[in-house]
Structures are given as structure tokens and as C-alpha cells.
Structure 1
């Protein structure tokens, strides 16, 4: 994508895994954000030697809306899935979001700014808009963007894992919301 100078729309989550350090999700094991080994093989058609595991909730949701947007090929021609802070954080053996402690935010803020700037510049992300996957993540992405001025605006969608874990009975509506917002940004 970069070589062709295509501008991709950044969809930015908060970071890697939420299942457990030994059970990577959201690209921690595959290297593709929000993509578990099952989706990598069965949906994206990319072979690998990673062990198949149960579907990860975020990945399952993401590939539902990707399917509604035409599938992986057309989706990845328009979008880049990544994270505001792309490294996995753990505390006491459990996953930890960068925004879970003010002291952690303060320490990571410069690296988060650097990571976001590098992604925007080196990957030629669109500058008119970026999308936060997760409301709490969106609060911090907006603050970071206010400092850096990388994007004209930040759209915020509920986090895929939140939707699957706490709003699953509204799955059809949640997928439709993602399709409406994301489809509208590439129309």
C-alpha cells in the first residue's frame, strides 16, 4: 500500500491482547491487528503454522463487519488496523490497557505520540479522519491528536470486544453501525 501511495484510513484500538499473555489475540500472535489464527487462515486465506485456537471475540466481530464491507481484500484496500499503543502491557500476569493508570499514561505518552506519528507518516494514513475502536481509547486518542495535530477529526466506535462481551444480543445492530460509519468514510 505504501509503495502505491494509497492513503488508508487508520482504525486504532488500544493495544494488543486481552485474553492472556499466553493466548494472544488481536494480532499478538498473528502480527495482524484484531486477527486471530482462525481468521488469518479461514477468512484471509493466509496459511501459517500457528496452532488453531478458539475464536477471539474482537477478531470475530471485526471479521463480521469486514465481511459486510466486501471481505478482506476490499477492506484492506481502504483501511489499516492498528493500535494507539502497539505493545502488549501486563500487570500481575494479566492484560492491562495503557489508560488503566494515570502514571502509566504519563510514562507511555511520548512513545504513544511517536508510534502514532510514525504510523500516520510512514504508512501514509489519511489525515482527514481516524477511527478509534473503543470509547475510552477514543478519549486518549483525541487528547493525543490535539497535541500532535495528525488528524482533522477522530470518530469513535465501541470496542469490538466490548460489543461481543456485553452487547452480543445487539450484534446485528453493532455490525450495521460499523458498516454505516466505515462505509460512509470511504464512499
Structure 2
């Protein structure tokens, strides 16, 4: 099997069976949107249909506008079409984190080079949502409540173990989010010994929300940590 085959099979069988806190729902794009498995399959067959080793980059968990819309982490429908050459029928999403990630990818040398060297996943491979008082559905992170972190813990560990059965480098892992996401995963890595080293990087959403004027500084930091 190629890495594409392994990723596609893994994504299609993702299922969360833990007991969620009240008011929290699972976001599983691979089961909720019938178009996403096909979009995701096209992407991974295009960029991962080989057995070349990759280094892993971990986000937090899928959001509604990025991988929740395409099945690919940090890739909204606009970047999927314009950068990856894969059209998403029916709807359009624009996600600021995706903008930053593809700025990094462009600076690295483009999608073909980047995706040959890296595999982007998430600490928790399925996302969560909550309903605000005004009825609006919002993204909810696995660490936003102790109860949710506890409920997701076993799922996070088993999902990581499965992915590390593939041709993924275990020397180093990059974690997006220098606060709670990095703290959680570094502690988990100390216990489980997934990787030899964990390198925290500023989360794309943080950069785009608070540091847009100095965005290039963070792009350069990513590239430096990646070894360019």
C-alpha cells in the first residue's frame, strides 16, 4: 500500500465513540459530507501515492472551514482549487489559517515539494463543535474543557499509534500551537514516546489574527525549523 492508500483508509474509518460533555458534538467531515471522501481521495492520491517518508505536522483538531470542508488539514476549498488543482463542487470556504499554511508551502517550494516531505494531521483527528447562546455553531477544541480532553484522550492516543505505523519519521514532530496544544502533546509524547523531539510552532490562526503585519517572520520561522 502507498501512503495515500493508508491515509485514505484511516480517514474513512475514523469514528469517535467516547462520551461527550453536554452541548458538544463531533465534527467528522468524512461521514457528514458525501463529497469529502472523494475530494480527500483525489488529494492524497495526487500527492502521497508513494512510499516516501514524511515528517509529521500536527494541528489541533479539524475546523468547519478547513479540513471540515475538504477533508485535508488546513486546506479550504479555495486553496484546494487554486493551489492543489482539485475542484470542490457546491460550496466555497475561505479559512485564514489555510492562507498562512499555503504561504509557508509556497515559500518552501510549492505543493509537490512540501507534501513529498510533510504530512499534516492533528493531535485529535476529528473536530468538535458547540452551540452558542445565539444558536451559532462554533469550533470547539479538544482542550477547551477538561471533560472533553478526558473523553478524547484514548482516541487521540490510538489514532496517533495507527498513523505512526506508516512511513512517518519518528525523529521529530512539529506542533502548531505554542500554548495548550503544544503543552498537551509534549506531555503525551513524554509518556508515549511517539517522537524523539517535539517542536512547537505558532498556530496559523494566531498569526493571521494577531500578527499579520509580521507574518513573514513566522513563515521564516517555519522554514528554519523545517531545515531550509
* TM-score normalised by length of structure 2: 0.73
**Mapping of residues 81-96 of structure 1, within 5 Å:** 81-92=120-131, 93-96=137-140
CA distance in 1, matches of 2:205, 2:181: 13
Contact in 2 for aligned 1:37/1:50 (Cα 8 Å): no
**Maintained 8 Å contact 2:127/2:142:** no
Which ranges of structure 1 fall in alignment gaps of 5 or more residues?
18-23
Runs of 4+ in 1 over 4 A off after TM superposition: none
Cα offset, 1:25, TM superposition: 2.0
Matched, 1:146 2:190: yes
Among residues 118, 121, 131, which one is paired with 2:174 in the alignment?
Answer: 131
Q: Which residue of 2 aligns with 1:20?
A: none
Counterpart of 1:12?
58
Distance 1:50 1:7 in 2: 34
Q: How does 1:156-167 map to 2 (within 5 A)?
A: 156-167=200-211
Match of 1:52, SS state, is: coil
For 2:185 and 2:51, the matched residues in 1 are separated by 25
**TM-score of the superposition, structure 1-length normalised?**
0.89
Question: Which residue among 71, 75, 85 is the counterpart of 2:114?
Answer: 75
Within the candidate set 49, 63, 66, 2:89 is matched to: 49
Aligned residue pairs, count: 176
Which secondary structure state, in structure 2, belongs to the residue aligned with residue 161 of structure 1?
helix
* Counterpart residue number, 1:170: 214
DSSP 3-state at the match of 1:25: coil
Looking at secondary structure, tell me which structure has more strand per residue: 2
Name which of 146, 149, 166 aligns with 1:105: 149
What is the aligned partner in structure 1 of residue 101 from structure 2? Answer: 62
Q: Does 1:29 align with 2:107?
A: no
Question: CA–CA distance in 1 between the matches of 2:68 and 2:101?
Answer: 15
Q: Note the residue ranges of structure 2 that are not aligned, 5 or more in a row.
A: 4-48, 132-136
3-state DSSP of counterpart to 2:184: helix
Rounded Cα–Cα distance in structure 2 between residues aligned with 1:97 and 1:178: 23
Contact kept, 8 Å, 1:34 with 1:58, in 2: the verdict is yes
Aligned-residue CA RMSD (Å): 1.4
- Partners of 1:156 and 1:139 lie apart in 2 by 9
1 CA distance for matches of 2:79 and 2:214? 22
- Alpha-carbon deviation of 1:52? 2.4
SS at match of 1:181: helix
